[in-house]
Amino acid sequence: MANVQYKGTIGILTGGGDVPGLNPAIRAVTVRALREGFRVIGIRRGWAGLVDVVRDANANNEDNFIELSKVVVDRASRTGGTFLHSSRTRPSNVSLSRVPEHLKGTYTEKTNDLTKEVLKNLEWIGIDHLIVIGGDDTLSYGVELSKKGVNVNAIPKTMDNDVPGTDYCIGFSTCITRTISMTNALRTSAGSHERIMVLEVFGRYAGFTAILPTMAGAANRCVIPEHPFDIHQLTEKMVEDRRENPSRYSILIASEGAMFSGGEMLFESAEKDAYGHAKLGGIGDMISAKIKELSPKYNKGRGIDIINQKLGYLVRCGDPDAIDSIVPMAYGTMALDLIMKGTHGRLVALRNGRYDHLPIDIVTSKKKLVNVSKHYDTERFRPIYQDFEMLPLFLMASE
């Protein structure tokens, strides 16, 4: 590579929850960037790595950033998760306890905006271009930096598939594949004991991870955040499904953000992350308890036992499937193409089956949710199976 002219330094970071497909995206950028004459720096722990940098040539910053090579990214690219690690840090909203030790005397508020330090750290490291891989939270801070003149391009990642502007986010296909596979595996227990099974999946505001497996036949019904459900009506349907099944069981998939009619989201604790989100959890437990309590009313006075399982991290761990190996490669290549054209402030995307890119601020301009009137039958708690012509691969687009 000695004859290749140096073209600048690219920084890459991954933020938010881990998903399969992150490492293939990092590899796609790195291998070609090195061949084209770029230096590539991997920022560790998402935005946290850029917050914690000590601007001293003698300081040990190996926990904050590393130089990437073909050998490093080749080794990691076939595995799940992110070898750069991740966090839910937002530099514009850093709690006092999280302020780096070397900055404690400078930032003393309960919450602190360390964006000024991030900008200085990017310059000190020598990063000319920044590729941010994450969900709408991680990418929203990328929007802030872009507005301040940083050369940012973004790659959408979240198994919830809820980043606006794109039909597909890295991690979604593997999540759906795993959900279907695990649901089908668990149905043997549900059938053996003639129970109703309730499976809780991720999905804070959007119900894509519940509605797509149900649409694929993994479950009888699903409840999603976009439409509160009546527990009596739901119980009646689940008992009816069980009665009609020769093996005497039925399956419900519930998004973690689903809500009872007149109720609110359920949280594990009141503690919130840097983006203002408390950790969700418990809707599966509550639905299970209520169905068991109400089941005699719809089952000739006899109660029905429940299998209650939270799939959680099981659907976001492990190796990527085919789609989450191919799409990240394409997204990473596109992000580098944009840099080589001198184009910044863009979100790479899939729209109507074609790769594209849009202004990065689309991430903060709206929410991407299930179109209930088009895709969800609120009376039957089921997807709507009609009018698929010209819809994208996973049916529900960023409208």
CATH 3.20.19.10 fits 8-170+318-364, yes or no: no
Question: What is the number of alpha carbons within 13 Å of residue 103 lying toward its C-beta?
Answer: 22
Q: Note the residue count of the chain.
A: 399
Check residues 386 and 339 and name the one with the higher pLDDT.
339
Q: How many CB atoms lie within 10 A of CB 301?
A: 8
- In the chain, pLDDT over 90 holds for what percent of residues? 87
Q: Nearest-5° angle of CA 230, CA 366, CA 210?
A: 40
Higher pLDDT, 326 or 272: 326
pLDDT, tens digit, for every residue of 49-71?
999 999 999 999 999 999 999 99
131-178 pLDDT per residue, tens: 999 999 999 999 999 999 999 999 999 999 999 999 999 999 999 999
CB count in 10 Å sphere of residue 244: 10
Domains 8-170+318-364 and 173-315+372-383 share a fold: yes
CB-neighbour burial class of residue 200 (10 A; exposed 0-12, middle 13-18, buried 19+): buried
Instruction: Answer for the pair 256, 312: CB distance below 8 angstroms, yes or no.
Output: no
pTM, whole model, 2 decimals?
A: 0.92
Mean pLDDT (the chain) is 93
How is the chain split into domains, by residue range? Answer: 8-170+318-364, 173-315+372-383
Q: Is 356 a catalytic residue?
A: no
CATH number, domain 173-315+372-383, options 3.40.50.460, 3.60.10.10, 2.40.30.10, 3.50.50.60: 3.40.50.460
- Whether 396 has a pLDDT exceeding 90, the answer reads no
What pLDDT, on the 0 to 100 scale, is given for residue 233?
Answer: 97
3-class secondary-structure state, position 364:
helix
> What does the DSSP assignment read for 295-344?
HHHHTTT----EEEEE-GGGGTSS---SHHHHHHHHHHHHHHHHHHTT--
Q: Is the pLDDT of residue 2 over 60?
A: no
Of the listed 160, 162, 167, 324, which one is catalytic? 160
pLDDT on residue 399: 64
Report which residue type is found at 132: V
What share of the chain in percent tops pLDDT 70? 94
Statement: residue 96 has pLDDT above 90: yes
Q: For residue 356, what pLDDT is reported? A: 97
Residue 111 confidence class, pLDDT cut points 50, 70, 90: very high
Distance CA 223, CA 260 (A): 9
